Copies of this chain bind each other. A is one copy, B any other.
Amino acid sequence: MPYTYEYPRPALTVDCVVFGAADDGLKLLLIERAVEPFKGRYALPGGFVDMDETTEEAARRELEEETGLKASFLEQLYTFSRVDRDPRERVVSVAYFALVRPSAVVGGDDAASAQWVDADELPPLAFDHDEIVRVALERLRAKIRYQPIGFELLPPKFTLGQLQRLYEDILGRALDKRNFRKAILRMGVLDELDEVEEGVSHRPPRLYRFNKAAYKRLAKQGFNFEI
Q: Which residues of A contact B (CB under 8 A)?
A: 1-12, 48-49, 51-56, 76, 78-79, 81-83, 90, 92, 94
Contacts and interface: CB of A to CB of B under 8 A. Distances in A.
B8 A51 contact: yes
Nearest to A94: B79
Contacts of A92: 12, 49, 55, 94
Given A53-B83, A82-B54, A9 B3 contact: yes
A23 to B, nearest CB: 29
Contacts of A54: 81-83
Q: Most B CB atoms within 10 A — which of A10, A48, A56, A79?
A: A79
A135 to B, nearest CB: 11
Contacts of A48: 7
B49 A81 contact: yes
A46 B114 CA distance: 39
A55 B83 CA distance: 9
Contact of A5 (B1, B55, B83): B1
Given A1-B6, A5-B9, A9-B12, A55 B81 contact: yes
Q: How many copies does the complex hold?
A: 2
Given A54-B83, A83-B52, A9 B6 contact: no
9 contacts: A3-B4, A3-B8, A3-B9, A8-B51, A9-B11, A49-B92, A54-B82, A55-B81, A81-B94
Contacts of A52: 83
Contacts of A10: 9, 12, 49, 51
A82 B2 CA distance: 24
Contacts of A82: 54
A5 B3 contact: yes
Contacts of A94: 79, 81, 92
A171 to B, nearest CB: 12
A79 B51 contact: no
Which 9 pairs, one residue from A and one from B, show the smallest C-beta to C-beta distance?
A: A55-B81, A4-B4, A9-B9, A1-B4, A54-B81, A3-B8, A79-B79, A3-B5, A79-B94
A56 B80 CA distance: 10
A5 B78 CA distance: 26
